[in-house]
Structure 1
Amino acid sequence: MRRISKVVLLLLSSFAFSQEQFTIELTALPFESDSLLLAPPTTSRNTISLYQLNLSGDHKNVKSIANSKAAKIRIEPRNTISGTVPCPLPMLMMAPKEDKSFQQSKIFFIEHGNLNINIKDKDLTLDLSKDAVLNKDYKQLKSYLLAVDKKLKPFENNNQADLDEKEKLLKAYIKKNPDSYPAFWEIVDAFSKYGFHKGYLTDLPLFSKKLKASPCFKDFEKILLLENSTNTGEKFPKIVFKSGDRITREDFTNHKITVIDYWSTTCKPCIQELPGLVKLYEKYKNKGVNFISVADEKTPQRMQLANKIIKDNHVPWKNYFDTGKEFTRKLNAAGYPLFIMIDRDGKIISRELGGQEILEALIEKHIN
């Protein structure tokens, strides 16, 4: 009986350790009687999976939304948001604008304990608790990275030297501050905005044992290792779709280059770029270049719409449906359009999130 009690106690303590209890006391007089959103920053490459906001308490003006990734708050004179998060999380406040877009605050951290936030104006200027430790760390880190961050453009192609510089600065910061959650999330953010960098794999082990034990760290490490195993220079994995269709090495052997276009009917750029992809295919099909499309759709209505889009744009190559998320899991495919170029030996030679404008240059480079 004593042994069972110890096991139960161990499980309970493990669960408690993996959750951070938080309470936010929010004042937002400029938005009284309106609604604000507490939400994660913009993410890609499946890093949104690291966020989980578990609300608690009987606060009728606070509602969980977006699969518990965010909260909607109907602003009253005083507002309390409480619950748990898997680890300290970077979040922001959002307010709807008249043009149906959103105004965003600067990023702040939800951490263990109490956090007082005062929103002073309609621009979502935040006053935070003076004892908000992680927010002080985040401010210090962003000041340290300011010069290199100014050179980088999110979700675009950047100078590799600038990306290397940021990675080296982060490595140096982590060595001095191994408990820094802001530094950990800065790696997540850089991966999300600028793409994979092999240096991140050597940065993660530098964090403290306590930080590395967190669910956020473990889940991100899995994402990073998966991305590394399916990045440039690695072998393209065998994909078997729920329908029984498959993409294997045999699909590549008869072509110098195969371009896989991962897309969705919800992605406007994906649809807008299809005519350009068809022109590229017609230009290079006799030079050993093939195309394959994979649509991230699973409902009959969306699949029917995808087939119509394919037909309307006279797409001559195969299109598969990733209804079981096999493609997503094996390649960490979490953004559209994603273009993966594979040589005849099944080796990945390029992986670009967006960037159709450089596809032709890459095709020319590799067929020659």
Structure 2
Amino acid sequence: MKKYFVLLLISISSQLFYSQKSSSLEIDASNLKLDTIFVSYPSATRNTHLLHNYQFTSEGSKKISEQGDLKLGIKETAKIITKFDYPQPVSISYYDAIKNSGMQSLPFFVEAGNLKLLLKDDNLNFEFLSTSPANIEFNKLSAILKPYESKLKPYESNDAENLKGKELEIQKYIRKNPKSFVALWEIISDFSKYGYNPIYSENLTLFDSTVKKTFTYIEFSKLVKLEAENSFPDVNLDNNNHLSKETFKNYKLTLIDYWATFCKPCIEDMPRLVELYNQYKNLGVNFISIADEQTLGRVTKATEILKKNNITWENYFDKNKDFPKKLNASGYPLQILVDSEGNILKRTYGELDVITVFIKDYLSNK
């Protein structure tokens, strides 16, 4: 039976800055052996998944997030209704629960208009059978940025100058195209993959009010501002424990390790953290672990894991969920280095090699 389905996208908006038109996305899946796919936002970190503002609904499908992302069984046809106010990137993905692995297509944009895709294989490679303005622009901008992108590694520490070079190219593009939602989403993608850079704030100021009035722009500006803040905020972990600048005043450096019991890399990193602690504890470096656990069962499990790994420094549980709110912590393991004045000097996701070098260099210059 040929697998071919139609996603009917209807744009319904109370805002005037993007046209309210019926639109459709047709996907030819006749080449696939897969029987279930997901339609959702592209892979994202640093809470950028919350910046999408659309609603997918479909009979026979399962909603998997507040945005309305769908788990969709492939049949002859399927219809999806969505609400969105401006172009937004989505991806098609597949997940094998037995193998605990999956894949995701490259991103493409949904917007007013008719778009047709051919899914070429079970790796979710696709080609456009018909396209749309945002997707044409996305391909154009991607070609411009390709030389810069090739120098960057997603979800790792990168040379700040390489990222700045890409953002300066985006800056030139925005000056010529201040109403470009594609450029906005490119900055969001960079923030997600490469972390904070001050130039994001500069680039955001260049957009037209059409873009600046949107939910995505407003909420993204908040995330950028949050990570731009170098001063460690007051964090209330529970009714009895909190962190503030006072927490750090007696130490040259404090390493905060934010983790969770279901995070395998977090637990695998603990022996290395113990080595670091033993190496630097007498040199003015303090360690604090914060587990993103709230229930009694999870707290008990976390305590057992800490004991098993011989972790003797201060340990807390973020029962109020205040840590991610104040520090935009969206993944694990997250390591944050804070100086004696309460200034955030470094934050990485699971890059203990980078943390180790930073501590060594920092202490050698003191």
* TM-score (norm. length: structure 2): 0.89
Partner of 2:146: 146
Query: In the aligned structure 2, how far is the partner of 1:86 from the partner of 1:324?
Result: 34
Mapped partners of 2:140, 2:151: distance in 1:
19
Q: By how many angstroms is 1:131 displaced? A: 4.7
CA root-mean-square deviation = 2.3
Deviations 1:255-274 (A, max 9, x none): 11111111111211111111
SS at match of 2:46: coil
| Closer, same or farther: CA 128–79 of 1 in aligned 2, 3 Å | farther
Of the candidates 348, 352, 357, which is equivalent to residue 353 of structure 2?
A: 357
- Residue 240 of structure 1 deviates from its aligned partner by 1.6
Secondary structure of 1:163 counterpart: helix
What's the offset of the Cα at 1:28? 1.3
SS in structure 2 of the partner of residue 95 of structure 1: strand
2:107 pairs with 1:111: no
| Residue of structure 2 equivalent to 1:155 | 155
The SS at the match of 2:38 is strand
In the other structure, the counterpart of 1:288 is 284
Does 2:24 correspond to 1:28? no
Offset, 1:62: 3.0
Output the amino acid matched with 1:362: F
Unaligned runs of 5+ in 1: 1-11
SS of the residue aligned with 2:240? coil
Q: Which residue of 2 aligns with 1:171?
A: 171
Percent of aligned positions with the same letter in both sequences?
Answer: 36
CA deviation string 1:65-85 (max 9, x = no partner): 234452122222233222113
Query: One-letter code of the match for 1:298?
Result: Q
Partner of residue 327, structure 1: 323
Equivalent residues of 2:13, 2:85 under 8 A apart: no
Q: Say which SS state the counterpart of residue 76 (structure 1) adopts.
A: coil
Does the C-alpha gap of structure 1 residues 33 and 78 become closer, same or farther in structure 2, counting only changes over 3 Å? farther
**CA 137–318 in structure 1, closer or farther in 2 if over 3 Å, else same:** same
Other-structure match for 1:39: 40
Moved more, 111-120 or 74-83: 111-120
For 2:108, give the aligned amino acid: F
1:259–1:339 CA contact under 8 A, matched in 2:
yes
| Structure 1 residues 363 and 320, CA gap change in structure 2 (3 angstroms) | same
253-262 vs 77-86, greater mean Cα deviation: 77-86
**For residues 33 and 318 of structure 1, what CA distance do their matches in structure 2 show?**
48
Change (3 A) 1:103 1:367: closer
| 1:206 CA displacement | 0.8
Structure 2: how far apart are the matches of 1:352 and 1:33? 36
Amino acid of the structure 1 residue aligned with 2:90 = M
Return closer, same or farther for 1:267/1:52 CA change in 2, 3 Å cut-off: farther
In structure 2, what residue type is equivalent to 1:295?
A: A
The structure whose residues are more often helix, as a share, is 1
Deviation for aligned residue 1:317 = 1.1
Q: What is the aligned residue count?
A: 351
1:124 Cα deviation from its structure 2 partner: 2.5
Residues in 2 aligned to 1:32 and 1:112: alpha-carbon distance in whole angstroms: 30
Equivalent-residue separation in structure 2 for 1:297 and 1:183 (angstroms) = 37
Q: Taking structure 1 as reference, are residues 33 and 280 closer, same or farther at Cα in structure 2, changes over 3 Å only?
A: closer
Q: CA–CA distance in 2 between the matches of 1:13 and 1:51?
A: 14
State the match for 1:241 in structure 2. Answer: 237
| 1:93 matches 2:89 | no
Which of the numbers 260, 275, 287 marks the counterpart of 1:279?
Answer: 275
Answer yes or no: is the 8 Å Cα contact 1:26–1:78 preserved in 2. Answer: no
Question: Cα 1:307–1:18, aligned 2, differ >3 Å: closer, same or farther?
Answer: farther
Q: Give 2:77's aligned residue.
A: 78
Q: Say whether the 8 Å CA contact 1:18–1:214 is kept in structure 2.
A: no
Cα distance change of structure 1 residues 302 and 85 upon mapping to structure 2, 3 Å threshold: farther
User: For 1:254, what is the secondary structure of its paired residue?
Assistant: coil
* Structure 2 gap ranges (5+): 1-11
Other-structure match for 1:4: none
**CA–CA distance in structure 2, aligned partners of residues 55 and 110 of structure 1:** 11
TM-score (norm 1): 0.88
